[in-house]
Amino acid sequence: MSTDTFSTGPAAVFARIEHNGQHLTVVKLQQTEGPLNTSALEQHLTTALGLAPNALLLVLPTEGGPVLGQGPAEQLYNDYLSTNTAAVVEQTWQPLG
């Protein structure tokens, strides 16, 4: 996969979460090589997942901090995890694409 295009999409799983009346889509990427084109990634994921332009989207790599969604999306996800201790085990993840 090229680091500058996501025509076929990155290898990833996603989950749609509702917490405190807010909706959040979390994407977990497999490890990628080299730098990511975050603009292209965000555009691809927004289209592939049918998200509104202002939807909360959090993109997490295999290791490290968020690739996309720092701020409100990350805070909502952290709050969700801290108040739902079984969330990590019970959350259903779907393959992207």
| Range with the poorest average pLDDT among 2-11, 17-26, 28-37, 61-70 | 2-11
**pLDDT band, very low/low/confident/very high, at 33 (cuts 50, 70, 90):** low
Indicate if the pLDDT at residue 79 is higher than 90. yes
Domain boundaries, the chain: 12-95
pTM of the predicted model, to two decimals? 0.82
Residues 6+ apart with CB under 8 A from 60: 26, 27, 28, 29, 66, 67
